[in-house]
Structure 1
Amino acid sequence: MTGDNEVRPSVLVAEGPVLLELHPDGVAHIRLNRPDASNGLDITLLKALHEVVMQVHGDGRVRAVLLTGEGRNFCAGGDVHTFLSKGAALPDYIRVATSYLQIVASLLMRLNAPVVAAVHGFAAGGGGLGLVCSSDLVVAGESARFLAGATRVAMVPDAGVSVTLTQLVGLRKAMEILMLNPVISAAQALEMGLINRVVPDDQLGDEALALTRQLAAGAPAALAGTKRLLWSGLGLGVEACMPEENRTQAQLAGMSDALEGLAAVIEKRAPRFLGR
């Protein structure tokens, strides 16, 4: 993403589940960094992501933010292996994890700096799809795929997706995405308004960085004000829904159906839900 004569970015967070670089032009690059787990969200990653976004929020040098994932996938959602391992303690774990995810989603919407998400591989669940819906602009590679996935494991959408997705694609389409869990191609996501652009896979990094740099070169106060006005139209609705998402998610996590759904995903089989 940098040429031979280009000044290299400053590395602000060099290790851990979330990395952070700052380019000289004011682009902050946040990288989800659990590639072996498809950047699946556990509490450790979510805490690190919260800390990094807060660091960006407090850095006056940041003019725009690029959000990417390391490895084969942008973000495969919640870490189903970690969730299933919690057993009876899953509701408490989900309650904390969902709270951190909601805080991060709110912060992304409230940052003065515009946020561009670059999606490759899968963007799934409250993590992947939630971060996509909380970003200001989204660029995807041609082979990218999107999946809601919450009801597939007997849970509900979180990260404010029950509001943001509806605003992006409409009520009927959101119902279909959240209840039937279709795998959505990049072309389909573009057509329905979930994302802004589709580019060849091998050009995703460069195209997303170029778009983020275009935003970084804009008038910061005007862009921040525009972003605030656009999100404020649904911001109260998003943040009002999040506590109910959290409560419902924790309640469902205590049911046997949730553990069955997680096990079915890991074992690559159809779940057998019993409604309890």
Structure 2
Amino acid sequence: MTDKLIDSGPVLLDLDPDGIAHLRLNRPEASNGMDVPFLQALHAAVLRCHGEPRVRAVLLTGEGPHFCAGGDVRTFAAKGEHLPDYLREATAWLQISASALLQLQAPVVAAVHGYAAGGGGFGLVCASDFVIAAESAKFMSGAVRAGMAPDAGVSVTLTQLVGLRKAIEILLTNPTLTAAEALEAGLITRVVPDADLAAEAHALALTLTTGAPRALAATKRLLWGGVGATVADRLAEEARTVSELSGTADAREALAAVLERRTPSFTGR
């Protein structure tokens, strides 16, 4: 019988009899856009996985049409001049959530459909151990386009995944990558037909539950540990940069442009 560890709120967590923790982003009406309460719930759910010895693998999914469209733009725009303070708090919760995923002993499988964008969606993809994507899925950093900078450790994890040159291209030019392009770049693990996404991701998670837990955990620690100190070093600098940029006129213009569905006009102020 499935054990409902967190059965309400913006992030849900179930544990099935096979030891798969189903971690579900649950703000479908906002494309799983991240605000502070959402990020606090995400962190609490990941910590619950840390503290539950029955968890052998984590399956990360998003409810609704998108995996995660990044930050909640409407909430950010409503903060006005208080946005830097709000983003300082939001970024802190996002960073400790991403760090907790990287440090989780159980392997994490992300199943991505729709958009994985912004520091939230793109960052969770980069912090997962395996990423299975539907053929129609799209991936975009979006930070610079929004007058911001990468967070969630992406300035390090993305470089490790795709290489420095490709990371520079992705983060500075903000292309919208198809699932096939993301696979070719090394960002994700596998592309499957849309109709097969849930089954394929679950099958991979189930396979992981049959492995030796301590060996999987140790191997994961060794692999991520090679970049872990660098990620930790960069988290504070990412947070400072995002907060600083969020107070600029360009950042306010970017938020307004998203809401008004137009191309932003940046002035460098």
TM-score by length of 2: 0.99
Q: State the Cα deviation string for residues 88-142 of structure 1 (Å, max 9, x = none).
A: 0000000000000000010000000000000000000110010000000100000
- Separation in 1 of the partners of 2:266 and 2:179? 31
Quick one: which of 230, 233, 240 aligns to 2:223?
Answer: 230
> Which residue identity does 2:221 align to in structure 1?
R
Structure 2 portions without partners, runs of 5+: none
Aligned to 1:3: none
Quick one: which of 164, 171, 174 aligns to 2:167?
Answer: 174
> Percent of pairs identical after alignment?
64
Shift of 1:74: 0.1
Quick one: which of 92, 95, 100 aligns to 1:99?
Answer: 92
3-state SS of 1:275 partner: coil
- Separation in 2 of the partners of 1:267 and 1:199? 34
> Which residue identity does 1:210 align to in structure 2?
A
Aligned to 2:54: 61
Q: State the Cα deviation string for residues 7-55 of structure 1 (Å, max 9, x = none).
A: x422111111000100101100000000010000000100000111111
> Which residue identity does 1:262 align to in structure 2?
L
Aligned to 1:260: 253
- Separation in 2 of the partners of 1:109 and 1:78? 20
Aligned to 1:38: 31
Aligned to 1:245: 238
- Separation in 1 of the partners of 2:255 and 2:61? 25
3-state SS of 1:16 partner: coil
> Which residue identity does 2:66 align to in structure 1?
N
- Separation in 2 of the partners of 1:232 and 1:266? 40
Alignment of 1:87-166 (within 5 A): 87-166=80-159
3-state SS of 1:66 partner: strand
- Separation in 1 of the partners of 2:156 and 2:40? 24
Shift of 1:247: 0.3
- Separation in 1 of the partners of 2:255 and 2:235? 22
Aligned to 2:70: 77
> Which residue identity does 1:222 align to in structure 2?
A
Shift of 1:266: 1.6
> Which residue identity does 1:53 align to in structure 2?
V
Q: How many residues align?
A: 269
Shift of 1:268: 1.3
Q: Which stretch shows the higher mean deviation, 10-19 or 39-48?
A: 10-19
Shift of 1:275: 1.1
> Which residue identity does 1:67 align to in structure 2?
L
- Separation in 2 of the partners of 1:106 and 1:12? 21
- Separation in 1 of the partners of 2:80 and 2:111? 34
Shift of 1:66: 0.4
Aligned to 1:24: 17
User: Hey, which bits of structure 1, 4+ residues long, moved more than 2 A?
Assistant: none
- Separation in 2 of the partners of 1:101 and 1:181? 20
- Separation in 2 of the partners of 1:46 and 1:263? 23
Q: Which stretch shows the higher mean deviation, 34-43 or 262-271?
A: 262-271
TM-score by length of 1: 0.97
- Separation in 1 of the partners of 2:114 and 2:46? 23
Aligned to 1:219: 212
Aligned to 2:8: 15
3-state SS of 1:138 partner: strand
- Separation in 2 of the partners of 1:275 and 1:9? 52
> Which residue identity does 2:2 align to in structure 1?
P
Aligned to 2:199: 206
How large is the RMSD of aligned CA atoms in angstroms?
A: 0.6
> Which residue identity does 2:129 align to in structure 1?
D
